[in-house]
Every structure is written in structure tokens, then in C-alpha cells.
Chains A and B, each alone.
Chain A
Amino acid sequence: MIELDKVTLKYGEKEILKQVSLTVRDNTIKAILGPSGVGKSTILKLMLGLIKPNSGRVLIDGADITRMKESELYTIRRKMGMVFQGNALFDSMTISQNLGFFLRENLNLPENEVIRRVTEQIQFAGLEGYENQLPESLSGGMRKRVAIGRAMIFKPHMILFDEPTAGLDPVSSKKILSLISTLRHNNNLGAVIVTHIIEDVFNVADCVAVLYQGEIIFDDVTEKLHNAEHPFIRSILSDKILEL
């Protein structure tokens, strides 16, 4: 379980998040919906302890990570996988090297176990035949699937997705969403999906929080979003696209 407790975050003088409280339960998919630049990526980075809040607490399975040292955080982070907005694949490594990298780095597994797990992720992500390619030679959708495969590599129980469908064509984006649903059903995973695309929310999320101007203006099960009264939510429901 991930909890944000009255988290405030500033970049310089600019207050990005104002006393944001948010809970993500295990085995549920929670979407965080918000316009571009509102601080969605920032929230995910806070959840991983990549950045520290100015005030408030971030709890992972009850442990406050805001006071932890980087070395203590490493073990916590392995419970979670992260799919970065721009994938953040290592561009000088092949697909299978990208997938195997952190296994070799951080777990003392025998090499055949590493290869077994990498092959498993390659099959899961539908990347057979591309094992020895570099990320740059793959399409956007495939790269995203590599990033998802990498996020799964430690068998986490929570995955954080930063705009998993942004910039993808409709077909690839459908593929990614169905991949996320499969993950959920096969592995009992929880997930946080940050997005500015409202269809994604209705497609995969059990519940949704809407972030607007640094505050959570809605936080409930997805179906109730239709009944929300906040003018911003009304406007995105009618337009379906989030404009700033």
C-alpha cells in the first residue's frame, strides 16, 4: 500500500503539490488524472523516494520513506516497478540486456535464472525476435512494452506507470492497456497509472484521483467520476481531452 499524507512539494518558490493526501491499495489499479505539468510525474517520483517532499509523509506498506537514506530505499523500491514517461531504457544496451540489467546488478541469481526471467518477460511483452536489437530501432509501443517488462523484473507487487499511452497510436495504446489489465489479473498486481487521457481511466482503473492546481479535487471509484461536480472534471468529461 502506498500512502501520501499531506504532502507538499515546491520547486523553488513554486508550490507544485499542496497538502496532497492519497492512498493506493494493493491489488487495485488507481489512476491519477491531471493536466500536463500539474505534477503527475512528481507524485510517482515521491512514491519511489526519488525526490523528497518539503513536508508531509510518504508511506510504503506503513514505512515512512521520507526520512530514509538512499541505501535503505533501495530495498523498498524493489517492491515497486516503474515505467517512466519516456521509458528510460538504457540506449546503449540491447533489449535483453535492458531486461536483465537490474537482475544481474541487484540480485545474486545464477545466470540461467536471469536468462529464464528475461525470456519470460520477452514472451510476456511479445518481443520475441527483438532480443538483440537496441531500443532506438523499436517502435514507441514496443519500447513501452520493454519498459513494462523491465518494471516486472523483480516481480513487484505494485507498478507505477507514468503516462503509459501518451504519444502512442490508438492500436499500440490499446495493446499497452490490455497488457496492464493482463498483468493485474495474472499477477495480482496493484498499479498507479498517471495519465492525462480520460479514456485510459475508464478502460483500466478501479479508482481515480484527479489532480488539479496542486490539489486532489476528486478521489473515488471510477464510476463516480461521471457524477462529480467540479467544473474542471465536467469540462474534461465533455471534451475527453485535458487541456490546461
Chain B
Amino acid sequence: MPVNAIRSLEKKVALQLKDFFFTMQEFFLFSVRAFASIPKLKRYWRDFLDQATICGTDSIPIVLVSSISIGALLAIEVGNLLEDFGAKTMLGRSTALSIIRELGPMLMGLMLSARFGSRNGAELGAMQISEQIDALRAFGTDPVAKLVMPRLVAALIMFLPLTALSDFAGLQSAAYMAEHYHRIDPGIFWNAVYPRLVAKDFVVGFLKAPVFAVIITLVSSFNGFSARGGTSGVGRSTIKGIVVSSGLVLIANFYVSKIVLENM
């Protein structure tokens, strides 16, 4: 009966919608709890330091690799393009803007959501299914304050220098390529970079770091906390954490740029 089929579909959709809004509400409360427990930072100082090492120092290689390669590529491609217009001297400016405003932060966000996000998702997911998170609660410790807040604060603090590093490395590799591939004098390259950068460019780039930090940490941790159903459950929730946080990083990347560029 088609009517019955429509009914059951209706019911299924309604159920899924209900699930979705329920999850959103849970996520919102989870985030509020994470921020609200920041005053306990002193108590979880050691956890914070561990996380700062994990998401900060240990992430340096991957951030460097991605920013150096994108800087070099950008210099080559944009250089070729500008050459057609006889505007090669503009190479510094165009690569600098792309790196500092868009590609540097975005790539860093994607790399960190893969690196830091997957680690959070898997670690917290494993703790969830082995009942360690329940154990924390059972003995009177708030698992969000102990496990999520230090990760959040560490990411908020460490993503900024990582962005700076990513920008710096990207620009250096672009400059290197400009000099050795396009034969542009370094003086000309840098002259098109520094004097022309304005506050807005940095605001766009560096505003993204804390936004990504919040997205990546909260989404991956929330998914870890929601892991159910054994090892494959941990796999599922980790993947979901990475996919969702990468998607949100891309979306946020667009909106932060749009909002800041329109309003400054």
C-alpha cells in the first residue's frame, strides 16, 4: 500500500529529524560545559600541557609540510599566470594574500582536524566504550572538565602560533620558488608583500585559528563521547568527527573571510 509506505517514510524522517535536533541540543550543552569549565584550568594544568604538546609542538611537521608545498605550488602557478599579463612583480602580493588570508589557515585547519581531531575522537571513543568516562563520572569527576576543556584551551592557544608558522613557512617557500623558478629578485618579491599587508589581512587569517580550534576540538570530542558499540563504534565516531569538523572548517573558513572582508 503506497499510503502505508508514505506513512512509514514520514515516521522515519520525523524520527531522524528528532534525532538530529536532539544531537544538536546535546552538542550545544556539551560545548557550554566545556567553556564553563575553563576556570578549572589550573587543576588540570598537566592535562593542558600534554594536550598543548600534542596539538602544538607535535603538529609542527605536518603544518610545515602542507604550508611549504602549498606556498611553492602557489608561487609557480600564480607566477605563470601573472607572467602572461606581464605582472610578475605582483607575485609577492598575490601569494601573500592567499596564504595569510585563506590557504594557510584553511590547510592548517584541515591538517589539524585530521591529526588532532582523529586523535581526540579515537582516544575519547576508546575511553567511552571501555567505560572510563562513566568511571570518571561515577567517582565524582566531571569528564568534560578533565578531558575536553584542556584540549579546547590547548587548541585555542596553540593554533595561533601554528597559523603564524604556517604563514611564515608558506611565504618563505613561495619566495624561494619566486627566486629560483621565476627568477624574481627577492627584494621585489618581499617589497610586494610587507608594505602592502594591512591589519585586515591578519585579522582574517588569525581569527580563523580560534574558530577552527573550537570547531575541531568540540566536534571530535563530542563524537568520541558519543561512541557506542565496540571497536567499530569507535571507528565510526572518529570518522564522523573528522568528516564533520573538516566540513565545518571549510564552511567557517568561507564565512570568517566574508564577514571580516565585508565589515573591515
Contact = CB atoms under 8 A, between A and B. Distances in A.
Answer yes or no: do A and B interact.
Answer: yes
B205 to A, nearest CB: 36
Given A86-B130, A88-B130, A75 B135 contact: no
Interface in B133-159: 134-135, 137-142, 146
Interface residues of A, number: 23
Contacts of A235: none
B132 A88 contact: yes
Interface in B6-24: none
A84 B141 CA distance: 16
A90 B132 contact: yes
A215 to B, nearest CB: 25
A78 interface: yes
B58 interface: no
A89 B142 CA distance: 16
Contacts of B135: 82, 84, 88-90
Contacts of A45: 134
Given A85-B131, A88-B131, A90-B132, A106 B137 contact: no
Contacts of A86: 130-131
A70 B132 contact: no
A88 B134 contact: yes
Contacts of B146: 105
Given A85-B131, A88-B132, A50 B142 contact: no
A32 interface: no
B108 to A, nearest CB: 28
Contacts of A77: 137-140
Interface string A142-173: 00000000100110000000000000000000
A190 B174 CA distance: 71
Contacts, number: 53
Interface string A74-94: 110110001011101111000
Given A85-B131, A88-B131, A48 B140 contact: no
Contacts of A154: 139
A85 B129 CA distance: 11
A202 interface: no
Contacts of A150: 139
A84 B140 contact: no
Nearest to A147: B135
Given A86-B131, A88-B130, A88-B131, A50 B138 contact: yes
Contacts of B134: 45, 50, 84, 88
Query: 3 closest Cβ contacts across the A-B interface?
Result: A88-B131, A74-B140, A88-B135
Interface of B: 130-132, 134-135, 137-142, 146
Interface of A: 45, 48, 50, 70-71, 74-75, 77-78, 82, 84-86, 88-91, 102, 105-106, 150, 153-154
26 contacts: A48-B137, A70-B137, A74-B141, A75-B140, A77-B137, A77-B138, A77-B140, A82-B135, A82-B138, A82-B139, A84-B134, A84-B135, A86-B131, A88-B132, A88-B134, A88-B135, A89-B132, A90-B132, A91-B130, A91-B132, A102-B139, A102-B140, A102-B141, A105-B140, A105-B141, A106-B141
